[in-house]
Amino acid sequence: MARAIQLAWRGRYSTHPNPRVGCVIARGDLVLGEGWHERAGEAHAEVRALSQAGPDARGATAYVTLEPCSHFGRTPPCSRALIDAGVARVVVASEDPNPTVSGRGLQQLRDAGIRVKDGVLREEAAKLNPGFLKRMRSGRPWVRLKIASSLDGRTAMASGESKWITGAESRSDVQRLRAMSDAILTGVNTVLVDDPSLTVRRNELGNIGQATEPSRQPLRLIADRDARTPPTAKILQGGDVHLFCSEEALSTGPAQDLSALGVTLNGVGWQDSGVNLGQLLDRLGELGVNELLVEAGPTLAGGFIVEGLVDELWLYQAPIFLGSEGRPTARLPFNDMCEKIEWLVTDRRQLGVDTRLILTPKVLAPNLSAVD
């Protein structure tokens, strides 16, 4: 199963909106076939592994990181393929999280006389698909907030100048983070000040090992109440862009101009503090976004944090001080110590001279916080 999980990771930049899945067909210690899902619409992991194993699959064991599908989608059901190949035993890491289909694939296998074992390395396998699992369960994507800051907690000078705070290794890491994401969200102020493209650039992606090449750009999303995004903005070039504006702005000239350029307009609620993030995330779930990356200024970033909507904070810290006039890490208007946000450090590593921390909100992990 560990090998199947390893194979599944090869699809980390390419399977969306499908989950990352790996499969190994083995008899004892002898591996007969290996497969992983590469791209939506292409063969599933089980089919690829069975095809490699050929007639040897008869009587063998299949290790699959996710419950085999039992329905006709863009490809025939994998449960059927396993039955037809005559495998004797199927070991699965986790059941399908979609409540309407969960367990059906396993039942089909059992009905065909195959021995089924479930829950092997379940937690490790779950890390493959945090977004797919969350979207199936809650209808919303997994939210990663990325912040690049100095050690004194500043993301830019007061003027907005921010090139470059972090080093080349960190920026290449951000490229891989973008490539893993289904969509990248920013705010119109960032568009106006920085004019970022928010694309994945293959030549900056670094070594992706045996992973399948990214097959498309992530969706680009702009929170922009009054449709102020300039038609010349770099973010509008080279891929699908969704604009989240107010219902009132939908019919205005600027919005219609952007629509004519191919931008998809979405009317959502707005309040003083900004866009209604709950509505926005629901809409992204409907669009099939599993993993959302937020690369935004202090206000939008602060909104996600204050509303408890961040699943992971990826904080890149450069060993510099930008000074006390610079822009804050996130706009969080706290007055009292008890309002502070507590994080769990789940990963801490060095990237060139920078430090990258992956943090999760402490309240969301009661088991871990109990040992603190």
**149: contact with a second copy by CB under 8 A:** yes
- Choice among 38, 46, 291, 312 that is catalytic: 46
The Cα–Cα gap between 81 and 334 comes to 56
Residue 34, CA distances (Å) to 3, 85, 363 in order? 9, 15, 39
User: What residues have CB less than 8 Å from 344, skipping those under 6 apart?
Assistant: 359, 360, 361, 362, 365, 368, 369
Instruction: Out of 339, 347, 363, 364, point to the residue binding a second copy (CB under 8 A).
Output: 339
User: What's the rounded Cα separation, in Å, for the pair 16 and 177?
Assistant: 14
| Binding-residue pattern over the window 290 to 329 for a second copy, x denoting contact by CB under 8 A | --------x---x--x---------x-x-xxxxxxxx-xx
**Candidate list 138, 237, 348, 363; residue touching a second copy; CB under 8 A:** 348
Determine which residue in the list 334, 347, 363, 364 makes contact with a second copy, applying CB under 8 A: 334
Q: What is each CA distance from 253 to 222, 249, 354, in whole angstroms? A: 17, 9, 44
- Least Å distance, CB 175 to a second copy, is 21
By the rule CB under 8 A, 353 interacts with a second copy: yes
Determine the Cα–Cα distance for residues 37 and 20; give it in Å rounded to an integer.
6
Q: Does 113 bind a second copy (CB under 8 A)?
A: no
Check if the beta carbon of residue 186 is closer than 8 Å to that of residue 235: yes
- Using an 8 Å Cβ cutoff, are 40 and 18 in contact? yes
Convert residues 151-190 into a mask of x (bound to a second copy by CB under 8 A) and - (unbound).
xxxx--xxx-xxx---------------------------
What minimum distance in Å lies between the beta carbon of 316 and a second copy? Answer: 11
Burial label for 256, CB within 10 Å (0-12, 13-18, 19+), is middle
For 68, the token pair is: 């085999």
Binder of a second copy out of 108, 129, 150, 229 (CB under 8 A)? 150
Is 20 or 327 the residue whose CB approaches a second copy more closely? 327
**Is 46 an active-site residue?**
yes
Cα of first residue to Cα of last residue in the chain, in angstroms, is 31
Retrieve residue 19's tokens: 């989950």
Residue choice 7, 223, 263, 330 for contact with a second copy (CB under 8 A): 330
Contact 106, 95 (CB under 8 A): yes
Region of 125-133, 145-153, 215-223, 232-240 interacting with a second copy (CB under 8 A) = 145-153
Distance CA 50, CA 29 (A): 17
Point out the annotated binding site: 44, 69, 78, 148, 162, 164, 178, 190, 194, 198, 201, 295, 297-303
The upper half-sphere exposure of residue 246, i.e. CA atoms within 13 Å in the direction of its Cβ, equals 10
Is 249 an interacting residue with respect to a second copy (CB under 8 A)?
A: no
Q: Which residues are catalytic?
A: 46
Q: Interface residues with a second copy (CB under 8 A)?
A: 149-154, 157-159, 161-163, 298, 302, 305, 315, 317, 319-326, 328-337, 339-345, 348, 350, 353, 355, 357, 359, 372
